[in-house]
Amino acid sequence: MKSYSEILDYLYSQLPMFQRTGAVAYKNTLENTNALDEMFNYPHRQFKTVHVAGTNGKGSVSHMLASILQEAGYRVGLYTSPHLIDFRERIRINGKMISEEDVVSFVERFQEMNKARSMEPSFFEMTVAMAFDYFRNRRVDIGIIEVGLGGRLDSTNIILPEVSVITNISLDHMALLGNTIPVIAAEKAGIIKKQVPVVISESDDEYNFVFRMKAQEMGSPIVFADQDYMVDHSTLLPEGKQIFNFSKQGRLLITNMTSDLLGYYQGKNIAGVLKTVEILTDQGWKIGRDNICKGIERVKQNTGLRGRWEIVGHHPEVICDTGHNEGGIRLVVEQLSRMKANKFHIVLGMVSDKDVDHVLKLLPTDAVYYFTQAGIPRALDSNILKRKADVVGLHGRAFSSVKEAANEALRNAGTEDVVYIGGSTFVVADYFS
């Protein structure tokens, strides 16, 4: 038997990996996914699922749903991507990561069976197959499955879920998904299955019609969560939690719902979660009000989620967030604008295939910047990022590593300042590692 480190080396270095290398690893067909599914005897057919897509918020929604179902007493599989520190973060059951032994066993079984086939799957295709096989073997009651990229051609899109959830749409991965919001929405709408209910967390006139048309074509009931559930009030607590009040169709429904996920934008994600749980309950899943409230309050505890407006230090306040596209950064900037600080210090890195120029124009010009790059091939060189930022009036220095940039920001920041670390999931990952 190979060691876990040998198997990781195989997964990272011998399989095309989008997170590291970009579009070269993207497959525009489900051929390998279907072949892997057949190889392992169709594991995804052996457990129920919820499918979650969207540009921003799909990770938070996936973890919230898993936490709620876990609180309701179900054995819950959770598949998400990318990971921050440990590959095994991608595949969990009731918050516990897949073991190193199970990762090794799956890959070795694949390699043995593949001798006669010579299949060349991508990293993502392999990890999806691993997750489905693991969930089947460990007899989960339900799997919360997060889409990796897009929807229609994503490797997760072989499942027939109880509910399909799409959080929102903004410009991202345009080279692969399309250059306009409606075109990108059509790719995300590819997860809508025949007669399977679909929840859209955030409605928008720019893409609502795309989802309505696809749902009508598939005979699928469609609901827009923010037309039912609305955040009536939110308060940030000193102990690092926030409280929401929710109204349903104009009437106050839930008061003092506590969330361990910060960021006011989580209210929009929770609205989609509440509507999804409502549909699951109508289908016969036993989920009580107490399960919902405890699930929202204990997301990080139950699932291990990190990197969503995570406060990692005080005096100065140090915040990490994985928002990495125009929509995500817009929310980050709005959240920062609500904070009181003598000075903002922004440690920023991005990947080279993002629309960097549009993102930079959203950022505040009165902050001090520390431009950096994560340790992956896709990372945009920090000196190039600095030059692009100079054009739009964002000034600072370039650093060759995230740790170097963050350390300099912390040295310069006063106790009443705020240090923000982000721009890319991989920047946050490098800071945590």
Which residues fall within 8 angstroms of residue 45, CB to CB, at 6 or more apart? none
H-state helical runs in 114-226: 123-137, 174-177, 181-188, 208-218
Q: CA of 79: how far to CAs of 15, 61, 92, 145, in Å?
A: 19, 12, 7, 5
- pLDDT reported for residue 176: 55
Q: Is the dihedral of CA 40, 46, 47, 48 positive or negative?
A: positive
- pLDDT reported for residue 241: 85
Residues of the chain with pLDDT under 50: 19-25
- pLDDT reported for residue 21: 46
Q: What is the pTM of this model?
A: 0.93
- pLDDT reported for residue 175: 54
- pLDDT reported for residue 17: 66
- pLDDT reported for residue 20: 47
- pLDDT reported for residue 263: 85
- pLDDT reported for residue 27: 59
- pLDDT reported for residue 22: 46
The DSSP symbol for 363 reads S
Strand partners, 247: 230, 252
- pLDDT reported for residue 328: 87
For the chain, the 3-state helix, strand and coil shares in percent, each to the nearest 5, are 45, 20, 40
